[in-house]
Structure 1
Amino acid sequence: AASVMAAVTQAPGSRVLEKCGLEQILEALKLLLSPGGSGSNSLQSTKHDILLATLKSNLSALEDKFLKDPHWKILKLLRDEIANEAEWPQDSVDVTWRFTSQTLLLLLCLKETMLCLAADFNPGKPNPKTPETAPALSPDTLSISQQKTVQSVLQFVVTLGVCPYLAPGVGVPLRFRTEFGAVVQDVVCLSTAPSATRRLYTSCRALLSVAQHASLGSLVFCRHLGDIAAGLCQLGFCPSKRSSLSPEEEVLTEEERALSRKALRDILDQVYQPLAVRELLILQGGPPQSCSEGKMQVRCRAPAWLRRLCGQLLSERLMRPSGVQAVVRGILEGAGAGAAGGSDAEATAADWKKCDLIAKILASCPQQSLSPEDYYRDICPQILDLFHFQDKLAARQFQRVATTTFLTMSREQPQLAAKYLLQPMLAPLHRCLNTAEIPESDKVPGTILVTEEQLSRCIEDIYKEIRKTSGVV
């Protein structure tokens, strides 16, 4: 199947695109999300019937608009144009996939229209006589109400087009999330064409295409990074159940699997790194999830290939610039601390077990590192930086991580820890006490060997580590 990217490279040049407005596309999306009738009967089968009937009704209403309303002709032409160029399976006996497919097409219409509007926007030079005047908004800017509509649409697309097709143990199952998710899981028909893998590939690639517009991308990844990453992990790395499949039997080509692997790494590199860390930890195997009735449900354990993959990807996050802080933030902010804040932030500040867990992770040399010394050389300066974290709310946690990691590394690799942790920490004090080692050129009267700030910081760091060593928190 051709990539969704084919649709987005040609559409901007079409005359159809220039005449289609954002409001009409958003109106079409709202039409697809119109609520259906709700009966008083709460039997599960009734909920299934209501959902299926609503999806069918909304699809029919959209097609009626396209066929009967002349004002919708331009949008229909744009949708058909993108659909023809995309060449992914759009029709199915399964109404949930027909609904997902049409919604994805409209999202692609929205993205292409927004890109076209932004490209044609020329705000002009600001008037120096009225500097207080706000600059003109780009015509591709979505209002708060429009953003909420897009968020609702994305929630439906991910719930209907990604989550039902994840393998057991890959991501959080729908039925453990919400009551609606449990209904969706039961109404999706996996036995009809297109195959589950093809549907998952189509949804992920289309969502990544939509995310090429900056503001849409922030809406996509802010809430759905975990599910999209789970889908890409499965598409790119999940081993085939049968090793002797012929090319005709393969659901995905090797090129499509390679595209999925590249897309996964691309989005993990682009997003806020603590968010990437947090989602990878959940994928690797998070805590039990509570279902809507409040009972704890034990999730299926992540498969071995996914645990290994997430471990490798987490190590790559760690080895990046500022990777240590990303890992620390990713774990702590997930609990409500640090920059994420929240009502539980102060309570979480006392959760030292989490800090000790992070220290254990940081002290372990990942397999991707060439040698323990290479790892220590890259990581230790970042660990020392944790001693001086400025955020008052999270500073105690960061210092706890730093001191515990310092001790753990000193026990496991004493020589390397002395070279890359202890010596840099004590350098200002060492320079003051060992004047014999100072070059003659630096002994000129008035030469500052160590600033007061450097020496104070050195003594404070030693004090923090001594408190930790003596068991004082």
Structure 2
Amino acid sequence: MAVNSLKPYCILKALHLLITPGNSNKVNLEAVLRNNIKNLHDYIEENPPLLYSWESSTFSSHIKDTSLSWEFSAKCLKLLDLLQISFKRAEQEFCSKKTSKNLTPNQAPPLSPDTLSFEQQKNILTALQFIVCLTICPNLQEGVGLPLTVRTEFLGILATFVSETNSNPETKTNFQESHCKLLLCANVLISCLDIPSIGVLILSRHLNDLLVIILQLRFGQQISNNSLKKEPNVGELSANNPNKVPDDEKLDESKSHSPDIDKLFTLKSNEFCDAALKRITNDIRPSMFVKELLLLQGGPRTKKPGFLPPAPAWLRNVCGSLFSDILLKPNGVFHIIHGVVLNEANLQLPQSALSEWRKFDAVAKIIAHCPMKSTSRDGYFKIISPQVVSLLHTTGDEKNSIYLRVCYNVIKEMYLHNQQITHQYIIKPIIQPLLHCLNGISNKVYLRSDSLPDVDNPHHLL
């Protein structure tokens, strides 16, 4: 049976059967999930190309969890993985065909093979919600990620089912399986980013979930020498993904698990997470990344419970380091202000938000204090100071008023802690054009046109 004969619509149909209750009269969630799994198996048996691909894949064979939540979630992951492989193959066939006919003005160009209908997009989003609720959230550390209780009502129902499942000692997941499950989820989601129509759904709806998996795998979990009794099939991470581990470095399960093997698995997992994190930061806007980092930092550590639980110390440190990376890049100050204060959708805030000085002070402290990873304090302020001064060239609309308020707080915070640096990189460039006008020897003073906006900067600060 040729693998190439498997078409994307067959997988999309299978995904629809898996996540749709259909005409079932069952009201129990567990019964509905089992019924959907049965419908999926029946459809696979009736579709030879899909059956061949399904049986030839050892997608999650190394994970021995028999719980219903993992069984259902693993099938969603496997279908998404087969779907992205099928889309890549269809895209290659689409690009290889040479259209000799010229299109008339009334003819539309052929659609890309990965084009999805609204119903198909909804099915993929539903499958992602199942994956997040049934696998990702239960295997995260306490305080990591967005709790299911603050999300949609649908996820709240699933959270109750998951909590009841995890309370059973027979289905409780150990450290090794949790690590492998999260690594498998990250692998599939990163692979799906290669498909534009699926990648936009992941980055727009589940960017926070994808980030938190990668950060926990990379920074939050240290695999000890005795923690992994059986390694996952690391070679599976290499299929159709350049960031995955090569097949020739597959671990031999027959060997005893020495510290060297555990170290190798940890190293390959870290390399995959580093490549995945780099790809995500390159694919999304920096201001959008800043917003997600704020959510990952969680709420304050107070006795009164807040909207978000406090994040563990390691996650706060990682988020702070990523904030510093953004600041040190071009237009870093703008991206930090944009991500923390401004709304990504319309670049504006509600009217009441203009009076939220605490938020402006928080942004100013982030920008005005030199990060620990910066090698030189003088070099850091040499990078951000011109950006602060350039943001003073604004008009009087609401958005630019926010920039002015934040810049004022940044300059004030810098002056309180580093007067000499502030005078050199902030005060002097601001007042230099004004001093040039006041100290003119003749009655006529000539200024370059590009320096005229700098004359207004002192007025903006006052």
1:450 aligns with 2:434: no
In structure 2, the CA distance between the partners of 1:92 and 1:202, relative to structure 1 (3 Å rule), is same
1:255 aligns with 2:268: yes
2:14 corresponding residue in structure 1? 28
In structure 2, the CA distance between the partners of 1:197 and 1:410, relative to structure 1 (3 Å rule), is same
Partner Cα separation in structure 2 for residue 120 and residue 375 of structure 1 = 50
Tell me if the contact between 2:114 and 2:195 (Cα under 8 Å) persists in the aligned partners.
no
1:78 corresponding residue in structure 2? 53
Tell me if the contact between 1:21 and 1:113 (Cα under 8 Å) persists in the aligned partners.
yes
1:278 aligns with 2:278: no
Partner Cα separation in structure 1 for residue 119 and residue 199 of structure 2 = 17
Tell me if the contact between 2:299 and 2:307 (Cα under 8 Å) persists in the aligned partners.
no
Tell me if the contact between 2:14 and 2:44 (Cα under 8 Å) persists in the aligned partners.
no
Question: 50-59 vs 234-243, which deviates more?
Answer: 234-243
What does 1:392-411 align with in structure 2 at a 5 Å threshold?
Answer: 392-411=397-416
Matching residue within 141, 152, 177 for 1:195: 177
In structure 2, the CA distance between the partners of 1:376 and 1:32, relative to structure 1 (3 Å rule), is same
Tell me if the contact between 1:164 and 1:188 (Cα under 8 Å) persists in the aligned partners.
no
In structure 2, the CA distance between the partners of 1:403 and 1:239, relative to structure 1 (3 Å rule), is same
Matching residue within 354, 357, 360 for 1:352: 357
Partner Cα separation in structure 2 for residue 263 and residue 428 of structure 1 = 47
1:185 corresponding residue in structure 2? 162
1:45 corresponding residue in structure 2? none
2:391 corresponding residue in structure 1? 386
Partner Cα separation in structure 1 for residue 435 and residue 225 of structure 2 = 62
Matching residue within 19, 24, 33 for 1:55: 33
1:114 corresponding residue in structure 2? 87
1:365 is paired with a residue whose SS is: coil
What does 1:319-330 align with in structure 2 at a 5 Å threshold?
Answer: 319-330=328-339
Partner Cα separation in structure 1 for residue 459 and residue 126 of structure 2 = 52
1:162 is paired with a residue whose SS is: helix
Give the letter for the 1:330 counterpart. G
1:98 aligns with 2:71: yes
**RMSD over aligned Cα atoms:** 3.3
Structure 2 unaligned spans of 5+: 229-256
Give the letter for the 2:7 counterpart. G
Q: What TM-score, normalized to structure 1?
A: 0.78
Question: 211-220 vs 239-248, which deviates more?
Answer: 239-248
Partner Cα separation in structure 1 for residue 203 and residue 364 of structure 2 = 28
What fraction of aligned residue pairs are identical, expressed as a percent?
30
How far apart are residue 152 of structure 1 and its match?
Answer: 1.7
Q: State the number of aligned residues.
A: 417
Tell me if the contact between 2:60 and 2:74 (Cα under 8 Å) persists in the aligned partners.
no
1:146 corresponding residue in structure 2? 120
Deviations 1:109-138 (A, max 9, x none): 2112222222222574895973x8654322
Deviations 1:201-254 (A, max 9, x none): 111111111122223212112121112211111111125486875846969633
Matching residue within 147, 162, 187 for 2:136: 162
How far apart are residue 369 of structure 1 and its match?
Answer: 0.9
Deviations 1:25-81 (A, max 9, x none): 211111111126464xxxxxxxxxx222222111111111111x2xx2212223334
Partner Cα separation in structure 2 for residue 267 and residue 66 of structure 1 = 34
Partner Cα separation in structure 1 for residue 223 and residue 110 of structure 2 = 55
In structure 2, the CA distance between the partners of 1:87 and 1:156, relative to structure 1 (3 Å rule), is closer
Give the letter for the 2:48 counterpart. K
Tell me if the contact between 1:403 and 1:464 (Cα under 8 Å) persists in the aligned partners.
no
How far apart are residue 449 of structure 1 and its match?
Answer: 3.8
Partner Cα separation in structure 1 for residue 101 and residue 379 of structure 2 = 52
Partner Cα separation in structure 2 for residue 172 and residue 287 of structure 1 = 14
Q: What TM-score, normalized to structure 2?
A: 0.80
Partner Cα separation in structure 2 for residue 20 and residue 119 of structure 1 = 14
Structure 1 unaligned spans of 5+: 1-13, 40-49, 290-294, 439-444, 467-473
Give the letter for the 1:78 counterpart. S
1:363 corresponding residue in structure 2? 368
Question: 176-185 vs 212-221, which deviates more?
Answer: 176-185
Tell me if the contact between 1:33 and 1:58 (Cα under 8 Å) persists in the aligned partners.
yes
2:216 corresponding residue in structure 1? 234
In structure 2, the CA distance between the partners of 1:324 and 1:106, relative to structure 1 (3 Å rule), is same
2:240 corresponding residue in structure 1? none
1:441 corresponding residue in structure 2? none
2:321 corresponding residue in structure 1? 312
Question: 96-105 vs 139-148, which deviates more?
Answer: 139-148
1:220 corresponding residue in structure 2? 202
2:120 is paired with a residue whose SS is: helix
Give the letter for the 2:125 counterpart. Q
In structure 2, the CA distance between the partners of 1:203 and 1:62, relative to structure 1 (3 Å rule), is same
In structure 2, the CA distance between the partners of 1:185 and 1:390, relative to structure 1 (3 Å rule), is farther
How far apart are residue 405 of structure 1 and its match?
Answer: 0.8
How far apart are residue 316 of structure 1 and its match?
Answer: 1.0
In structure 2, the CA distance between the partners of 1:242 and 1:135, relative to structure 1 (3 Å rule), is closer
Tell me if the contact between 2:299 and 2:306 (Cα under 8 Å) persists in the aligned partners.
no
In structure 2, the CA distance between the partners of 1:241 and 1:74, relative to structure 1 (3 Å rule), is closer
